[in-house]
Each structure stands twice: as structure tokens, then as C-alpha cells.
Amino acid sequence: MKASDYIVQYLIQKGITDVFGYPGGMVTHLMDSFYRTDNIKAHVCYHEQGAAFEACGYAQSSGKLGVAYATSGPGATNLITGICNAFFDSVPVLFITGQVNTFEAKGALKVRQRGFQETDIISMVQNVTNYAHYVTSTDDLMESLEKAYVSAMSGRKAPVLLDIPMNIQRAEIDDEKAKKMLHAQSEIPVKECSDIEQIVQKLNQAKRPVLLLGAGLKQNVTPHELEQFLEKTHLPVVTSMIAFDTASEYPYHYGFLGAYGTRSANWIVAKSDLLISLGARLDVRQVGGIRENFAPDAQIIRVDIDAEELAYPIRENDKNICADAVQVLRQLADCDIQQVSDEWLQVCDTIREKVSGIDDNTPNQIIAKISTMIQDGTVITTDVGQNQVWIAQSFQCKKNQKFLFSGGHGAMGYSLPAGIGAYFGTHQPVISFTGDGGFQMNLQELEFIRRENLPVTVVVFNNQSLGMIRHFQQMYFEERYMQTTPESGYTVPPLDKIANAYDLEYHCIHSTEELHEGLFHAERPTLIEIRLDEPTFVFPKLRFGTPNQDQEPLIDRNLYMELMAL
């Protein structure tokens, strides 16, 4: 068996149906092996960064390992943004890079390069992968492929990379040895929790408990098991922004917390006496610049599978538990936990009622209306910037919708290719939200959705500016707009002409009144431009160093004191 055939058969054994890549000389053997099977489909993209995000979207939506491949040199380096995205958001993706033949490699020579397009990709990505390995032989290939799979799918999931010289790809592997390795079962360890009784005790003692759900829980929990636990306990729920859709239909869900979070979530956390965080990092954007201000009266119990995340405390009396958040939830579901008091739930509902509508801006109204028109089962992707926050703030989620973000890395240009990958991960329609800035980062992937006639609708919020940075410039730089507006150097081409060039159905929307359901039930690739002709902002927004509940624009001080007294 040829080594490249072995790679393809291994991926098929793992249930992977689709992979993404861009042709190049050093991956031609791998491409040919994909060509000669009907059990897995290799899709050509139009930029390696697009392939990387497509693999991320596939993994995030399906729960399987995503796969992207590229040739050596510039092909490999173009993957790095997607590799970082996968690393910071704990997305399991296998990146395969071709490399020059071993006999062409520079080895220990202190030259920059010996073979054409030879680049040491391993040293570049070691800090943003769970495992990165230069393959030296066919035996090494079989062992490292298995190690890469287990590393990607175990514990805190992450990307892995195998750099495979061309002559290793075309080498022969003994058939019996290959069959034995292919039929071996990969063992994915599970991290159990031994501190469940302490969590239960704290829950039963608390008068004002809150459950914080993060992306570490969202990725692996089923809606049914989370729903059962919440119905049993009536715990008030807040989330991180990336997990805003988790338990979205639960009546005691109060939004996401943090710098751009909902006022209700930030206030409820501030009034709590126990905060249990399941799979949320509690970074600066979630807790604020002065960590001691966060949940000032609460005992904080943090559950995270990554011990290093727990090494960054909120306060010295944090209870840190290094375990799988999903396993902890499942163990808690079997425990005797008292229901939360009606008195505390009434306080939470009062807070939500008092702050409702304060930040109901035009883009939020548009998002809220669009959300009523998107069918259950649809996958929604967002880009980075104002569009992402408006969606997390105002989208009314349905239970079976999936929402995909570029969270920690915050990569513009993520939404469209991630939406393509998500389609192949679910075979459900996709709505890809983006801003005019992020849209231009990977718009070449429009040819992908046109070529394969995918049910992907791209919604571009066009405010003719880089709105998030423009907002910063207004707040901190006395409205000196540099490279963020048409007057200061940033421009947007006519989107109708782009749609026409890619043979996409096109609609331009100027107001909420023009929105209708037919726009979001398209059966062919569609581009919807939403023109925002007024300056746009994201509110509420936390000024650095202030408590989470005191977001801008500042609420009336009498109301502030009333909420503080609850």
C-alpha cells in the first residue's frame, strides 16, 4: 500500500467524509490517493487559509476531526491563521503539509533553504498545536498519524500537524502492517471529576447561585442532557459569548457576560453568591480589567480541562477543578441538588426586565428580526467585529441551530469558509454573517459555493467602515479615524458587482421592513447586503477597568442604585 493511500484509508476509518485543501507539488500523491476513492471527498478551495477555516467549520459542526492539506512553503504558511484559530478555540483539526523530498532537505546545513519551497513549518506551529511532527519514514507515518489523531481529540482538543516529505508519501507500506494499524482502535481518555460532592454541597448552601456555561461545555454536551439538568435545578444560566446559544430556550437564561455582554447577565453575576463556571476561560473580556471586581460576593468554582487556565485566578479562594466540564455536568445530574429559590429567580427576572431594551439599536433590531426567519436546523457562522457581537446579543436561537465563531483568535475572514465546512459537516443550510471588512478577507471562497451550488447564504452588514476599530477611535482617539472609513483610506467595492461576478443571487436591504423569510430560505448560493448608512456601534460596551455591570452608555444612576440594592 502506498503511504498516501494509507493516510486516506486512515481518515475513512475515522468516519471523516470531507477534507479541504489546495493543490501543490508536494501533495500531489496525497491528492491522487483522494482521487482514487469514493469514500471521502477532497474539496479544492481558493486559498489555504480558506481550507483551514473550512476544516475548522467541519470539525466544529460535526464533532469529527477536521482535515486540511497544503503544499510546502507558502501553502503551509498560509494555513497558520487557521491553525491558530483551531488552537485557541479547541477545535480538533489535522493539518497535513507536503514537504520537499528528504534527500533535498537542508537537514543540519545552516542555509535558509535547499529544496524549492522548503520551509520549516514545524518550528512555526509547535506552540499552537497539540502535536506537530516531521515524518521521517513510513513506520513513523503510521505511528505519528495515530498519535496526531489521539492528541487532537483528547482532553482540551486542538489542531495537530504532520509535515510529510514527498518521497515518504509515495513510499510503499507492507500491506499486513498497514491493515493491522488501520484496524486498531484509538483510545481517547476521559478526565473524570473527584470533587462532585463539594460542588453539590456549595450548590445546596448557596442562596444566589449562577451557572456559567463556556465553549468547553458547548462543544460536547447534548442539548437534552443539559436541558434535563437545568429543569431539575432551575439554576440561572449565563454564558460566554461563544456559548451564547447554549440552553438558549431555557427560561432562566440571561444572556452572555463580559465587555460586550448583556446587561442582565453582568448584573446577575454581580449579585450572585456562588458562580460555577463550566468550561469558560474567565479571561479579561469576560471578567473585566480588574479581576477582583468580578462577582465580588461570590464563591467561584471553576471547572476546566486545562490546568493552565486554572493557574490564572480570579481570587485566592477560587475552587479550581481540573476536569472535563461535560463529565462534571453528567455527574452532577445524578446528584441530589436542591432547586433554586423562587426569591432568587425573581431577582434575576426583575434585573432582566429593568435593563431590557436599553441597548436596542438598529443593527440589533435587524438581527432580532432575521433570527425569526431562519429555520431550525440551520448552521449560523459569524465573522469577527460588530456583526459577531450583535448576533450574540440579539439573535433568538432555536434549539437545533448551530452557531460557529472564531473566538479566541478572532480571525476576520472566518465566517464564509467556516460555513462551507459546516455544510459538509451537517448537510444543513448555512447562513454566513459577516461585515464588509471580514467579507473581503476570503471572498474568493464564493467560487466554492457557486461551483458546488451549496445552500449557503452570505449576509454582509455593510457600514462602509471597520466599525469595531472606528468605535475605538471615537472613544480613545478623539474621533481621529485612520484607515477605518472611506475618508481615511478604507473602502468597499460594490457588492452587487461581486455577486454578479460569482453568479450569486443578490439582494440589498436598507431597512428592517424590507426583510422577509424568503431571503433566508434560498436554495442556491445567495449574497444579501444589509446597508447600514448610519455610524454603527456596539452597546453595551465596558470601559476598561470598570465593573462588568457598569457598562456604557451608563444607565440612570437611580436605576443603578436600585439594582445594586436588590
Percent of the chain with pLDDT over 70: 100
Is there a contact between 58 and 64 (Cβ–Cβ < 8 Å)? Answer: yes
Write down the architecture of domain 3-182 according to CATH.
3-Layer(aba) Sandwich (3.40)
Nearest-angstrom CA–CA distance, 143 and 145: 6
pLDDT digits (tens, 9 = 90+) for 32-69: 999 999 999 999 999 999 999 999 999 999 999 999 99
How confident is the model over 346-356, as a mean pLDDT? 97
pLDDT given at position 207: 97
pLDDT given at position 108: 86
Asked if residue 27 has pLDDT above 70, the reply is yes
C-alpha cell at 127: 506552540
How confident is the model over 481-508, as a mean pLDDT? 97
C-alpha cell at 557: 444612576
Asked if residue 17 has pLDDT above 70, the reply is yes
User: β-strands 319-322, 41-44: how paired?
Assistant: unpaired
pLDDT given at position 284: 92
Is there a contact between 438 and 465 (Cβ–Cβ < 8 Å)? Answer: no
Is there a contact between 508 and 496 (Cβ–Cβ < 8 Å)? Answer: yes
Nearest-angstrom CA–CA distance, 304 and 279: 5
Residue 25 Cα distances to 75, 163, 534, angstroms: 10, 14, 49
C-alpha cell at 89: 478555540
User: 196-355 has which CATH code?
Assistant: 3.40.50.1220
- Strand-by-strand arrangement of the 66-70 sheet: 41-44, 18-21, 66-70, 93-99, 160-165, 131-134
pLDDT digits (tens, 9 = 90+) for 475-490: 889 999 999 999 999 9
pLDDT digits (tens, 9 = 90+) for 141-163: 999 999 999 999 999 999 999 99
pLDDT given at position 308: 94
Nearest-angstrom CA–CA distance, 438 and 415: 8
Asked if residue 417 has pLDDT above 80, the reply is yes
Three-state SS across 350-378?
HHHHHHCCCCCCHHHHHHHHHHHHCCCCC
Residue 460 Cα distances to 58, 383, 532, angstroms: 22, 10, 10
pLDDT given at position 544: 85
Residue found by looking up cell 451564547 in the block: 244
pLDDT given at position 185: 82
Domain 362-531 falls in which CATH fold?
Answer: Rossmann fold (3.40.50)
| CATH code 3.40.50.970 region(s) in the chain | 3-182, 362-531
pLDDT given at position 191: 66
Other beta carbons within 10 Å of 321: 22
Nearest-angstrom CA–CA distance, 543 and 552: 7
Confidence band, pLDDT 50/70/90 cuts, at residue 107: confident
pLDDT given at position 410: 93
Write the DSSP string, 264-325. Answer: HHHHHHHT-SEEEEES----HHHH-SSGGGSSTT-EEEEEES-HHHHTS-SSTT-EEEES-H
C-alpha cell at 96: 497535513
C-alpha cell at 525: 448560493
C-alpha cell at 136: 521521517
Asked if residue 455 has pLDDT above 80, the reply is yes
User: For 534, how many CA atoms within 13 A lie in the half-sphere containing its CB?
Assistant: 8
C-alpha cell at 111: 542555509
Q: Using only C-alpha atoms, what is the Rg of the chain?
A: 25
Give me the sign of the Cα torsion angle 239, 243, 249, 255. Answer: positive
Q: Which long-range contacts (CB under 8 A, 24 or more apart) does 510-514 make?
A: 512/362, 512/365, 512/366, 512/369
Task: Please state at what angle helix 138-153 crosses helix 3-13, rounded to 10 degrees.
Answer: 20
Nearest-angstrom CA–CA distance, 255 and 282: 16
Residues in Cβ contact with 561 at an 8 Å cutoff, skipping those fewer than 6 apart: none
Other beta carbons within 10 Å of 180: 11
pLDDT given at position 339: 95
Mean residue pLDDT across the chain: 95
Is there a contact between 92 and 154 (Cβ–Cβ < 8 Å)? Answer: no
Nearest-angstrom CA–CA distance, 128 and 161: 10
| Peptide bond preceding 525 in cis form (omega within 30 of 0) | no
Confidence band, pLDDT 50/70/90 cuts, at residue 99: very high
Helix, coil or strand: residue 76: helix
How confident is the model over 519-537, as a mean pLDDT? 93
| pTM of structure | 0.96
pLDDT digits (tens, 9 = 90+) for 245-303: 999 899 999 999 999 999 999 999 999 999 999 999 999 999 998 998 999 999 999 99
| CATH code 3.40.50.1220 region(s) in the chain | 196-355
Confidence band, pLDDT 50/70/90 cuts, at residue 224: confident
Closest CA to 383 of 421, 412, 409, 408: 412
Closest CA to 165 of 304, 72, 89: 72
Asked if residue 199 has pLDDT above 70, the reply is yes
pLDDT given at position 303: 95
How confident is the model over 504-510, as a mean pLDDT? 96
